[in-house]
Amino acid sequence: MGSRLASAVVCAALCAAAISGCGGSSSSGIASKSPDAIVKAASNAIMHASSVHVSGSISSGGVPLNLDLTLVSGKGGRGQMSEGGLAFQIVNVGQTVYIQGTPAFWQHYGGASAARLLNGKWLKAPATGQFASLAALTNMQKLMGTILLSHGSLSKGSTSTVDGHHVVAVTDKSKGGTLYVATSGQPYPIEIKRQGTTGGQIVFDRFNQPVTLTAPSNAISLSQLG
């Protein structure tokens, strides 16, 4: 379950990591750099942030994927996701991942017995093994590194404004998507967008805000499922 869903989300995010233009004030000087240098600067900036909120909707193989995650550097993350209408909440604290899915989610991935046992409850599992790829979605360094650093040939677009931020656009020629990077202050990634049936949008905001990660109580351990 974890590997399939995580792979779909990361694949879609990578396809989106090539979206179309933006720009504005270039007080940081980032807009004058090469497209590769801009993406590298964005990656370095986000890697040094203490937290970030990542949300959006993307498509992988015609299947809609939605995510709304708050990531905390070095600690984990929490939020909710859905694949093709199968929704679940996730909390990753340290080396443990907690998942609470809808009945349809558990029925699809775990079968009828799992759906009955986990109805309204949280599943607790190590953030390794079969759940490693799923837990990686709430690992700030791993997810952001995958999204920002896996790309093809880049070209720099124009500067503009996205959601009130002055940004510069960098487009991945091979994947057809565009990354918008802030040109004022830290060069944080602001948005990733791709047009078409395999496209979507991912937004990055709430940088460095205080976030508390709390493990859900009374979770059912994976070992209890046999």
3-state DSSP of 108-148: HHHCHHHHHHCCCCCEEEECCHHHHHHHHHHCHHHHHHHHH
* Of 195, 197, 188, residue with least CA distance to 171: 195
Handedness of CA 213, 215, 217, 222 (dihedral sign): positive
CATH class of 2-213: mainly beta
Which residues are bridge partners to 126 per DSSP?
96
Euclidean distance between CA atoms 66 and 47, whole angstroms = 23
Would you state the pLDDT for residue 226?
A: 59
**Mean pLDDT of all residues in the chain?**
84
> Could you tell me the pTM of the whole model?
0.82
Position 2 pLDDT exceeds 50: no
pLDDT at 175 over 80: no
Residue 189's pLDDT band (cuts 50, 70, 90): very high
Domains in the chain: boundaries: 2-213
Q: What is the pLDDT of residues 97-135, one digit of tens each?
A: 999 999 999 999 888 988 888 999 999 999 988 888 888
Give 182's strand partners. 167
Q: Could you tell me the CA-to-CA distances from 224 to 128, 134, 214 in Å, in that order?
A: 17, 20, 22
Q: Where does the chain have alpha helices with state H? A: 2-16, 35-47, 103-110, 112-117, 132-135, 140-149
Reported confidence tier of residue 24, pLDDT bands at 50, 70, 90? very low
